[in-house]
Amino acid sequence: MEHLFVQLLIVIMFLAAVFLHVVKKNSTAAVLYCAQSAAMATILLAASIEADSRPLLFVALATFAVKTLIAPLFFAHLIKRHQLKFSASTYLSVPLTLIAVAALTALTRSHIFAPLVALGNGREGMLSLALAMMLISLFLIVNRKGAISQMIGILSLENSIVAFAVFAGLEQAPGLQMGIMFDILVWVVVATVFTSMMYKQFGSLDVTAMQRLKE
Amino acid sequence: MIEAILSSYGFGALIASFAIGAVGALALRKSDTAANVWSNAFAVLGSAWGIVYALLAVTAVSAPEYIVDASAAFPLLSVSFHIDKLSAFFIFVISLIAFLCSIYGMGYVRHFYKKYNIGSLGFFYNFFIAGMLLVVSASNALVFLIAWEIMSVASYFLVVYERNDHRNVRAGFLYFVMTHIGTAFILLAFLVMYKFTGSFQFAAIAHNIASIPPFAASVVFVLALAGFGTKAGIIPLHIWLPDAHPAAPSHVSALMSGVMIKTGIYMMIKIFLDVFTDIPLWWGLTVLVLGAVSSLLGVLYALTEHDLKRLLAYHSIENIGIILLGVGSAMVFSSSGMLPLAALGIVAALFHTLNHATFKSLLFLSAGAVVSATHTRNIEEYGGLIKRMPQTAFFFLIGSMAISALPPFNGFFSEWLTFQALFGGILALPSAASWIFVLAVGALALTGGLALACFVKAVGAVFLARPRSEEARHAKESSFSMRTGMAFLALLALVFGVFSGSVSLTIGRVARDIGKFGAAELPFAVSPLEQISVQNGFASASAPAIAMMFIVAACIAALGLRAAYRKQKVVIGETWDCGTPPTSRAEITATAFSRSIIMIFKGILKPTKQTGIEYRDATARYFPKARTITLGISDIYRAYLYEPLQVALTKFSERVKTIQSGNINAYVLYIFVALLVLLVYVIL
């Protein structure tokens, strides 16, 4: 039952990563990231209950606070402040994007990644999904031109790396995880400020506008 | 007591003296005098401690070793130092020259007061010396590289210290680029050794040296030769040296030219003869050829110079070439199994290292005194300084005699030993290799003659005849501390010459501590009267006998002249001058003096001549108002090596630049693809 519950959570995370490619509204992307992060925090919570570890519980709570509450709040503020209702365009059309996402997912299920997936030790399917999430999130950063989408892509990539670490049994010390969480918090603040400055300078959050900075 | 000095505390105190000197100078930067006294006082203190430490380490039975365990934080970085006899010898040379340069510096630095920040000069000066000491003490390649960087960066800031002169800033930039190209080669050499031996510890590398395949060993040789050769200033990697050494303050120039470039020689000996023990013959022959070329071309370029400090810088290239002749011959003998002759080559190289440090520092310090008194480095603007700066002129003359290998000064004996090592090669080696030794002997002999000609020019143009500028006319003798530093170096040039036998024997002990030379008998003996006898009487030289011969000859000449002119009256009258008063314009200039020699070597030096005429009436062009002739030489290294290299690099960079699209998505795509490729590569 518990196994099924965790499977459901990783599927939610994976689907959130896929839908991030499809959505056009920035607010929807932020909500999807919020859902993905909530699933991630729940996975960590389940792990802390299973291991009966109080430090891990703090990590789960910190994850929830930073990724599910604070980061989306920053995004909401940014969207509201600059009236950035819709995300900028993509390089590939939606059908082509979905084909690429399917190809990346298939790649993680192929024999090439078999040695990595084997680290799962009974959770191969979940590990495979976490790997697919990593590649899909990276692809989101490549394919999207909007700065907010790229920021969410980076955070989604971070979620997938944490998920991979959990399912591969590579959990780090709670102190280190708290450090990473603090790092993410600082990153979100800096990235938001930077994005605001970029908007002021270029009048758009389309990163291709920054090509003008090239010598 | 000896144990206490050689303990880790003793070594720590040595480095701490310079660190305190550096930090204190920076803290006292508001007061020029306080910063100057503090920084140089601690440099003197540290150097004096270094001299004592090195002398004890050379005579110690077991080599001191200090390890600071930092493996928990940095797994590959073992902060360890090993003071074997070779290290101790170089610590001695560095400390000795730093000691006297710092005494000189106390007086010399005064002319920077109110112009530049004395605190920063003291800071970098102390770190520079400490960096050099750490370089020759490190027993781990990573620690060595850190020390190498401290030395290089500190010396860069010293080169650009007089930053108001844009030439110094440009020289510093060239030095910075070249030194880091050299460091890149060194790093690659260490990485190749690490790949096969699994360690950055020099002792561990030497222990597992057999695991390096011959081709990889040769790659290490080429990389190390290029890396350390750049620092040593061997031709054609020397282009930074004639610009950077003159740009620095003179007591720093003395350290850079006298000592810093020797750290390259130290590492060559360490890697090629201590870490590697069985080396192929061509390694030694390559070093020998490079030494011969550097010595000959170095002195030829020095002859063409009319900038006093650049002239001395080119002589450093020449002397590095002479040292390499010793090192190269030792490598050839080592690979041929002739260990006694190899030991002779190393003794010659190390002795010349010590001697060059002594007389080159003396020459740079004297040149610094002249430059600070006249505010110019152009030889043509000096003249007649022997009357205004007699003591400085005397010290410069001693240095000139020593560098020209005139007995009884030290330069003669180390070059004589180098000759003996080369003669040994001619006698003992098969014909192909022995011909290279024949050519090396020819190059060394020619170098000696040309060096003498160059210093006849330098001494004559700087100190003799009449002043050729207002600055030279009003020059004043240098301060007491400057003269003290020069006087001790001049004395050392004589002492190391007169006691060359004892010095050679001491250096022999250092040589026998290197690699497999411990089993070698030294092929020379020294009599109680300091007579060096090489290879069972093949050749011998005695400094006291030569000195005595000079004294007796001088006495006989003086007595003879006195007897001949005793009854003759001295009549002082006017010189017949054809109606033209004899002014400084009638003197032979330094350029004219060397022009005839330059024309003999015009095939190598590629001299240039530009003439210009200014007419009284530019349209009629009948009556010339002034004629100008500009003589120079082509920089063939820039024209045929560095500029084509730069053009190729620029073209390549332009092509590579196309991947810099300015599009963030493209950059992330590169990361994405690289990540995928790496994942697939690792898994497959």
The 3-state DSSP class for residue B615 equals strand
pLDDT above 70: percentage of residues in chain A: 94
- The predicted model gives B278-303 an average pLDDT of 94
Does residue B660 surpass a pLDDT of 70?
yes
Residue A102 C-alpha, separation from nearest chain B C-alpha, in angstroms:
16
Distances (CA, A) of B529 to B56, B257, B508: 25, 33, 18
> Does the beta carbon of A91 lie under 8 angstroms from any beta carbon of chain B?
yes
Percent of chain B, pLDDT > 70? Answer: 98
Q: How far is B187 from chain A (nearest CA, A)?
A: 32
Instruction: Identify which has the larger pLDDT, A98 or A122.
Output: A98
Chain-wide mean pLDDT for chain B? 90
More confident residue, B123 or A187: B123
**Subunit contact A207:B663, Cβ cutoff 8 A:** yes
Q: Is A106 on the interface with B (CB under 8 A)?
A: no
Q: Interhelix angle for B543-564 vs B480-498, to 10°?
A: 110
Q: In this predicted structure, which of B282-296, B395-409, B546-560, B594-608 has the lowest mean pLDDT?
A: B594-608
Pair of tokens at residue A52: 């009966």
Q: What is the tens place of the pLDDT at every residue in A140-159? A: 999 988 888 888 999 999 89
Q: Inter-chain contact A135–B676, Cβ cutoff 8 Å?
A: yes
- Among candidates A138, A142, A211 on the partner chain, residue whose Cβ is nearest the Cβ of B662: A211
Beta bridge partners of B67: B80
Query: Which candidate from A91, A113, A214 shows the least CB-CB separation from B662?
Result: A214
CB B457 within 8 A of CB B308: no
Whether residue B1 is predicted with pLDDT greater than 60 in this model: the reply is: yes
Alpha helices in chain A (DSSP H): 2-22, 26-51, 54-63, 71-82, 94-109, 114-117, 124-143, 147-167, 174-202
Each residue of A42-79: b (16+ CB within 10 Å) or e?
Answer: bbbbbbbeeeeeeebbbbbebbbebbbeebbebbeebb
**A76-108 per-position pLDDT tens digit:** 888 888 777 766 678 888 899 999 999 999 988
B76 close to B200: Cβ distance less than 8 angstroms:
yes
List, in order, residues 6 or more apart from B640 with CB less than 8 Å away: none
B448-458: pLDDT as tens digits: 999 999 999 99
| Cβ neighbours of B658 in A, within 8 Å | none
Q: How many CB pairs under 8 A join A and B?
A: 45
B615-626: per-residue pLDDT in tens?
Answer: 888 887 888 888
From residue B659, give the alpha-carbon distance in Å to each of B51, B223, B604, B662, B675: 55, 30, 43, 9, 17
The model's pLDDT over A164-187, given as tens digits with 9 standing for 90+, comes to 888 887 766 677 777 777 888 888
pLDDT by residue (tens digit) across B136-163? 999 899 999 999 999 999 999 999 999 9
pLDDT in tens, B73-97: 566 667 888 888 999 999 999 999 9
Per-residue pLDDT, A1: 43
**Between B438 and B659, the higher pLDDT residue:** B438
Q: Which residue shows structure tokens 């790093």?
A: B187
Q: Rounded mean pLDDT of B214-227? A: 95
- Binary contact (A143, B675; C-beta < 8 A): no
Cβ contact A138–B683 (<8 Å): no
Interchain contact, A141 vs B665, CB within 8 Å: yes
Three-class SS state of B468: coil
Put simply, the answer to whether A207 touches B683 (Cβ < 8 Å) is: no
In chain B, whose CA is at the least distance from the CA of A135? B672
* Model pLDDT, residue B72: 57
Interface touch A210/B662, C-beta < 8 Å: yes
Q: Write the ipTM.
A: 0.81
Check residue B449 and give its pLDDT.
94
Domain boundaries, chain B: 277-499, 637-683
Task: Give residue ranges of B with CB < 8 Å to any A CB.
Answer: 660-665, 668-669, 671-672, 675-676, 679-680, 683-684
**Contacting A residues, span 115-154, partner chain B, CB-CB under 8 Å:** 115-116, 135, 138-139, 141-145, 150
Q: Which residues of A touch B669 (CB under 8 A)?
A: 142
**Cβ contact (<8 Å) for A214 and B665?**
no
